[in-house]
Amino acid sequence: MYFFDPHIHMAARTTDDFETMAKAGCVVVGEPAFWMGYDRSGVDSFRDYFRQLTEWEPQRAANHGIRHYCWMGINAKEAENVEFAREVIALLPEFLTRPSVLGIGEIGLHKNTPNEVTTLLELIELGMKTDEQLLFHTPHLEDKYLGTRMILDILRADSRIDRTRVCVDHCEEHTIRPVLDEGYWAGITLYPTSKATPQRAADMVEIYGAERILVNSSADWGPSDPMAVPALMFEMRRRGHAESLIQQLVYDNPLKFFSQSRNFQFTPPE
């Protein structure tokens, strides 16, 4: 079965990972801009990173028969310095028109501070101006519940938001229900140590169904697994779920969500 990994940081992974994923059936990856594990010293570091995501990574993926799409943004961890964030936001329009860019992401909150909110509102403003899809990062661990509520409050207050074109990512058991209830796509990240394991994700699908759920590995430079999506497929199979349900989760859903972006063009391998 073919699958998408709709949220993975391939810039932090080796070419061997592309090969392993391709052999397992991966046909499309989505790479949101994020924190590379260190703070950038200036806006040109972001420019080079955005070039990496739009010029080099698509080629590296294509060498393994995988289509690479990306999201442009400034992550919440680097959003605290509002002035610096504004310089990065000013860079975004020239990249948003590039052919493999799906929208603005991953943006959101990290420590739920007023400065992070200021930057987030400016990113949403840009997204509304240029009609982008939006991908939200929700905070880690003890900050997640409050941060997710804050993001949902911000979105609810903005009547321009088309909820079917928004994904709120890294949902867990205590945050997925409001995200789905309010009409957004809910991302579930499969991490070995935090966020959700394949077993916990399978439990959530059994409770809430598969509609508007996107599962991803979010694999990056930290403890993570680029084969996490196939691990969930295996777990679902082990539990006796229908192949059609598994395909909806790992292929049909991300295809439907990505297809709402004007830059997404994909011909299935069949």
CB of 132 or CB of 246, closer to Zn ion:
132
Q: How far is the CB of 269 from Zn ion (least distance, A)?
A: 26
Q: How far is the CB of 77 from Zn ion (least distance, A)?
A: 11
Q: How far is the CB of 179 from Zn ion (least distance, A)?
A: 16
CB of 218 or CB of 248, closer to Zn ion:
218
CB of 18 or CB of 246, closer to Zn ion:
18
**Angstrom distance (rounded) from CA 165 to CA 155:** 12
Residue type (1 letter), 72: M
Residues lying near Zn ion in the complex (CB under 5 A): 34, 218
Cα 182 to chain centroid, rounded: 19
Question: Which spans in the chain are helix H?
Answer: 15-24, 43-51, 57-62, 82-96, 114-129, 144-156, 176-181, 198-208, 228-238, 243-247, 253-258
CB of 13 or CB of 246, closer to Zn ion:
13
Q: How far is the CB of 75 from Zn ion (least distance, A)?
A: 8
Q: Find the helix or strand (DSSP H, E) in which 186 lies.
A: strand 185-189
CB of 67 or CB of 195, closer to Zn ion:
195
- Cα dihedral 210/32/115/179 (nearest 10): -10
Long-range contacts at 224-228 (CB < 8 A, ≥ 24 apart): 224/191, 224/192, 225/190, 225/191, 225/192, 226/5, 226/8, 226/13, 226/17, 226/20, 226/21, 227/20, 227/21, 227/24, 228/190, 228/191, 228/192, 228/198
CB of 31 or CB of 132, closer to Zn ion:
31
Q: How far is the CB of 190 from Zn ion (least distance, A)?
A: 12
Q: How far is the CB of 247 from Zn ion (least distance, A)?
A: 24
